[in-house]
């Protein structure tokens, strides 16, 4: 698929590398064109880098690999997103990473949907640390990605992307269920960074 990765941080770089290696066409978008171009060159596999609008224009799926606080500006810069699947991987966390800044009655994903009503938003990858995005970091383990959204076709698309890089995609219901999935992401941060387990842990829903 043609995928735009918006953001050049650890999550953006990890997703771009894994998806490019799996055969997807990757465009990297960022406000800093130099960083976007450098990441694309590092990834290889035909990836290209440039501005946010240019990257989004080339793509069928746009992954917002950004902190929640940076998403609104990125959506403005992206231009017309009609007909594209928008993937939110964020957790709306405080600067010290210890708590959520919104929740209960809304979620980051739902707020992003309000900002981009012309594009179906899908929540995914928010419970996976960047260190676990590379398939070689998960040898012998199949980690779960919880996929929530209101558009069945968009969810199927994102589930397929997750599966293409070795994850188990778990149907997680409507986009409003992001209100529950985002606290799981925050709890994983606590396990990883405040409870001593390190960034090699991930939650799983086990069916007996």
Q: How confident is the model at residue 134 (pLDDT cuts 50, 70, 90)?
A: very high
Percentage of residues in the chain having pLDDT higher than 90:
100
Nearest to 117 by CA among 91, 86, 147: 86
Q: How confident is the model at residue 128 (pLDDT cuts 50, 70, 90)?
A: very high
The tens digit of pLDDT for each residue in 24-41 reads 999 999 999 999 999 999
* Average pLDDT rounded to a whole number, residues 108-126: 98
| pLDDT score for 60 | 98
* Average pLDDT rounded to a whole number, residues 61-65: 98
């Amino acid at each position: 698929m043609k995928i735009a990765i918006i953001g050049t941080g650890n999550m953006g770089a990890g997703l771009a590398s894994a998806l490019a290696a799996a055969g997807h066409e990757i465009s990297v978008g960022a406000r800093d064109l130099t960083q976007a171009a450098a990441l694309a060159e590092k990834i290889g596999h035909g990836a290209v880098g440039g501005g946010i609008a240019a990257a989004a224009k080339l793509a069928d799926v746009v992954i917002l690999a950004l902190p929640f606080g940076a998403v609104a500006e990125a959506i403005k810069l992206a231009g017309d997103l009609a007909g594209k699947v928008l993937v939110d991987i964020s957790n709306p966390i405080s600067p010290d990473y210890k708590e959520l800044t919104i929740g209960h009655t809304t979620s980051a994903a739902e707020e992003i949907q309000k900002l981009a009503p012309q594009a179906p938003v899908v929540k995914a990858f928010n419970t996976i640390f960047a260190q676990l995005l590379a398939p070689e970091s998960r040898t012998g383990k199949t980690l779960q990605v919880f996929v929530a959204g209101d558009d069945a076709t968009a969810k199927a698309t994102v589930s397929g992307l997750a599966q293409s890089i070795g994850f188990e995609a778990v149907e997680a219901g409507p986009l409003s269920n992001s209100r529950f999935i985002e606290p799981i992401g925050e709890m994983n941060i606590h396990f990883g960074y405040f409870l001593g387990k390190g960034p090699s842990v991930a939650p799983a829903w086990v069916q007996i």
